[in-house]
Amino acid sequence: MKRRTDQQRSRLAAHVFVCTTDRDAEYACCADAGAEETLEAVKTWLRERNAFWSPIGVSETSCLALCSEGGTAITIQPRDEWYSDVRPEDVPALLEREFGPDAEDVAPG
């Protein structure tokens, strides 16, 4: 086992987690609400600003307990920001609000 905390702290200032949970149930899940498209929108926005994986990480995650038919759940850490009902078209405004138009504001909010 290798402890890599210091390496990641110096590389990543923030991490965007996008729920992609898919389940067969009577309740809404992010996969059915456009999770894959929302995840791709997050990655695209960051890539266009050269901020994908350094300084902002992106990961798929399981349920964030914000399930909705209206869109995907996202959390941004360590900012402790939580969003529900996120659609792909919402991503640019959401990430610009969090990180600035050029993803230059990556210090914890």
Residue 93 lies in a domain: yes
CATH number at 16 reads 3.40.30.10
Residue 1 lies in a domain: no
Q: Which domain holds residue 33?
A: 12-99
Residue 50 lies in a domain: yes
Contacts of 28 (CB under 8 A, 6+ apart): 67, 68, 69
Q: Look at residues 6, 10, 9, 16 and name the one whose alpha carbon lies nearest to residue 80.
A: 16
Q: Look at residues 106, 70, 97, 78 and name the one whose alpha carbon lies nearest to residue 17.
A: 78
Structurally, the chain folds into a number of domains equal to 1
pLDDT tens-digit profile of 6-20? Answer: 777 667 889 999 999
95: helix, strand or coil: helix
Instruction: Decide if 75 contacts 42 (C-beta within 8 A).
Output: no
pLDDT tens-digit profile of 24-79? Answer: 878 889 999 999 999 999 999 999 999 988 899 999 999 999 988 899 999 999 99
Residue 109 lies in a domain: no
Q: Look at residues 83, 109, 90 and name the one whose alpha carbon lies nearest to residue 98.
A: 109
Residue 63 lies in a domain: yes
Residue 107 lies in a domain: no
DSSP classification of residue 52: B
Residue 35 lies in a domain: yes
Residue 3 lies in a domain: no
Q: Are strands 14-19 and 56-61 parallel, antiparallel or unpaired?
A: parallel
d(CA 9, CA 86): 27
